[in-house]
Amino acid sequence: MWNKTTNKTQFYLTSLPANAKKIGQALRKHWTIENKVHWILDVTFREDDCRIRSRYGDHNFYLLRRLAINALSLEKNSKVV
């Protein structure tokens, strides 16, 4: 299973000049952020399952979750982040 090579074609719309190297770097940077931050938020706090829909509640809870992750990242004995 892990030794199998696959090909996948994806299409993107961008206003960037046609420079494959720079576009590739931008895409990898985006997915690095997605995998490091948003994955932790979803797995640790089940953020995708959150149904808070009040006026500012969703944003306030987002900030609280980020604060908690930042605090945990400073804790050297923590294995969460």
Mean pLDDT for 5-13 is 84
Question: How far, CA to CA in Å, does 29 sit from each of 10, 22, 33, 72?
Answer: 17, 10, 6, 23
pTM over 0.85: no
Query: What per-residue confidence (pLDDT) applies to 52?
Result: 78
Domain borders along the chain are: 20-74
Q: Mean per-residue pLDDT for 44-64?
A: 81
In angstroms, what CA-CA distances link 4 with 1, 8, 9, 52?
6, 13, 17, 42
- Tell me, what amino acid is at 43? V
CA atoms within 13 A on the CB side of 2: 0
Q: What is the mean pLDDT of residues 50-73?
A: 83
3: which DSSP letter? T
pLDDT: is 4 or 77 the higher one?
A: 4
